[in-house]
Amino acid sequence: MDDQFETFDPFLNDDASAEKVYRNLPLKKIRRSVPRTDVPDKIRAMKELAFTPEAYWKTSPWLFRQQGLFMKDYSDDQPFGEDFAAYYPTYRDLSTEQLRGYFSWRTVVRHGEFPDAPQPFIIMYAYELINLIGIEKPEEAFRLLRLHIGNYGERCPELQKNSAKWLTDLAAYHQLPPEMLSGTPDYDFDSNVLTLCNWETQDEDGLFAAVSRLSAYQPERSAAYEKEPEIFRRALCRSYENVAIYFLKNRKCTLHEKLFGKPVEIKHRLFEGAVFFDTEPRRSFLYEVSGIHKLECRNGEWFCKKLYGNRGRNKPLGEIVRTVDSTIRECLGDMHKLAPGSISSVYIKLISKTVSSVAAEMRRPPERHIDIDLSALDSIRSAADITRERLIVEVEEDAPLTAAEVTDVPVNDADTPLDEGEREFLKALLDGGDWSGTARKFGISPSMLADSVNEKLFDVFSDTVIDFDGDTPYIIEDYAGDIPQYI
């Protein structure tokens, strides 16, 4: 039956149908588009470190350091030219091709050449330097990290952004001499601020340089500076000194505290933004970057005390410099006018007086040098005696003035630059009266009345006579005795 069935089956006997029956066929071998890279034994052994029992309980920074120390002397010759992205890149995150490319690039860098590289390579090499991988002395790690930042900072924004704090933290962690930080942004900023803090002991060149580096308004770009650099330099330094003196006498903070604030201590994260393993976590010591910048390790916890906020060019200082520039242009008279900076009218007047004094002093013609011939003194004395004898004549004694001829000089007790509202406001402050009610009576705020009085009496006292304790005005004690004559 089976044979008959097979014989009379129309589908099996049909050649066309037989060709369409599905059968098991061997798979065709497909060539890989990218040839597979052989894994060197050293890289394979490094990868296996991540799967050891010890690594299972450890942190990523610990594993990075262990793998880095294992590969510290490894070199390769398999470049990797493609760029890629990786956040906090470590050896574990890279493929074999990328690892071979990294070690090939690192070999070239260690020989003093600095070719372009993917961003993760640049960052990971900085991590190696921070962890002293392949380096024995921290001084050498600091030098190489600074060199690396100089070569790749502009090509790698992430490296440039963290460069200042990584260099400072590396110096602090290993307690390197603070002078090694010279030229870094943090160190130079602190040095310039300290120059302004200690203006009394600075020479003109040092003070001008510090103001120029910290000011948002750059004096060297001024047309007035190009025309009269010596006058500008001295006027700017004297103006800063006079405003600083004014703050010492009349304000509760110094000028540099007003401009930059006071140092504040906060908890510090060491090597923020980097992969770093702390090999000495339990220490206590103090590291001083400068007189206004300190890092302290207290039993493993780090704290930083410094000036926070904007550590770049300072806008309030720039307003002072702009006012000096504006006033110098007015004194020179033949330059395009410039509006003064946004500062108090009291400071504008103080700066104006200072600049005028400096300009008059430096534009004064030099005194003539006179040589005296001592041998001619006898002949000069003889000629003087003859001249004296000829000039002496008898003069009748003037008769004394009679009382009727003496006229009294009128004295105007009301000779004051202040108007009625300002006088009543001053009187209320002197007598402890209702100064607020006086201001309301004349429809002017107390602060505006105080500014007006200070401005009008500045020419008399060369200082403000009214200051504020919070919102409460008061007459400065030094001038309380002289104020009544102007009321």
Write the pLDDT tens digit of every residue in 454-468: 888 887 777 788 888
Name 447's Cβ contacts closer than 8 Å, sequence gap at least 6.
Answer: 468, 473
Q: State the pLDDT confidence band at 19, using cuts at 50, 70 and 90.
A: low
- Which residue would you say has higher pLDDT here, 217 or 394? 217
Q: Distance between CA atoms of 124 and 91, rounded to whole angstroms?
A: 8
Please report, in angstroms and rounded to a whole number, the separation of the first and last CA atoms in the chain.
140
The amino acid occupying position 79 is P
Average pLDDT in the 410-439 region?
A: 78
Is residue 400 predicted with pLDDT exceeding 50? Answer: no
- Percent pLDDT > 90 in the chain is 61
Say which residues have a Cβ less than 8 Å from residue 184's Cβ, sequence separation at least 6: 146, 163, 164, 167, 168
Q: What pLDDT sits at residue 360?
A: 87
- pLDDT of 469 > 70? The answer is yes
In this structure, the strands spanning 466-469 and 264-267 are unpaired
| Chain mean pLDDT for the chain | 85
pLDDT tens digits for range 408-417? 333 344 567 8
- How far apart are the C-alpha atoms of 307 and 262, rounded to whole Å? 6
Averaged pLDDT, 310-335: 92
Q: Model's pTM, two decimal places?
A: 0.68
Burial of residue 114 (CB within 10 Å: 0-12, 13-18, 19+) is: middle
Give the distance from CA 218 to its chain's centroid: 13
Task: Determine the average pLDDT of the residues in 410-437.
Answer: 78
CA dist 89 and 255 (Å) reads 45
Q: What are the CA-CA distances from residue 116 to residues 72, 153, 155, 215, 412 (Å)?
A: 21, 12, 8, 36, 83
Does the structure show a pLDDT above 90 at 419?
no
Query: What's the CA gap between 458 and 183, in Å, rounded?
Result: 43
Helix, strand, coil in percent for the chain, rounding step 5: 55, 5, 40
- pLDDT band for 431, please (50, 70, 90 cuts): confident
pLDDT band for 448, please (50, 70, 90 cuts). Answer: confident
Tens-digit pLDDT profile for residues 332-391: 887 888 999 999 999 999 999 999 999 888 876 555 555 666 666 667 777 777 777 666
Q: What pLDDT was estimated at residue 22? A: 58
Domains of the chain as residue ranges with CATH: 41-180 (no CATH), 198-260+312-362 (no CATH), 264-306 (no CATH), 420-486 (1.10.10)
State how far the Cα of 213 lies from the Cα of 239, in Å rounded to an integer. 17
Radius of gyration of the chain (CA): 41
What is residue 367's predicted lDDT score, i.e. its pLDDT? 55
> What is the pLDDT at residue 329?
93
- pLDDT of residue 163 exceeding 50: yes
Higher pLDDT, 394 or 171: 171
Closest CA to 166 of 155, 181, 177, 156: 181
Least reliable range by pLDDT among 147-156, 188-197, 234-243, 428-437: 428-437
Please report, rounded to a whole number, the percentage of residues in the chain having pLDDT higher than 70. Answer: 83
- State how far the Cα of 311 lies from the Cα of 313, in Å rounded to an integer: 7
What integer pLDDT is reported at residue 371 of this predicted model?
Answer: 63
Phi, then psi, of 414 in degrees rounded to 5: -95, 15
Burial of 449 (0-12, 13-18, 19+ CB in 10 A): buried
The residue-averaged pLDDT of 399-420 equals: 51
The two structure tokens encoding residue 109: 């860098």
Identify any residues that bridge with 288 across adjacent strands, giving them in sequence order. 294
Mean pLDDT to the nearest integer, 226-243: 95
Q: What is the pLDDT of residue 374?
A: 64
Half-sphere exposure of 88 (CA within 13 A, CB side): 9
pLDDT (average), residues 434-448: 84
Report the SS3 class of residue 342. coil
pLDDT higher than threshold 60 for residue 99: yes
Token readout for 337 is 């006018």
pLDDT of residue 88 exceeding 90, the answer is: yes
Q: What does residue 298 show for φ and ψ, rounded to 5 degrees?
A: -115, 95
Residue 55 identity: A
- Residue 302, phi then psi, degrees to nearest 5: -105, 140
Between 356 and 403, whose confidence is greater?
356
Average pLDDT over residues 43-70: 95
- Residue 136, pLDDT above cutoff 90: yes
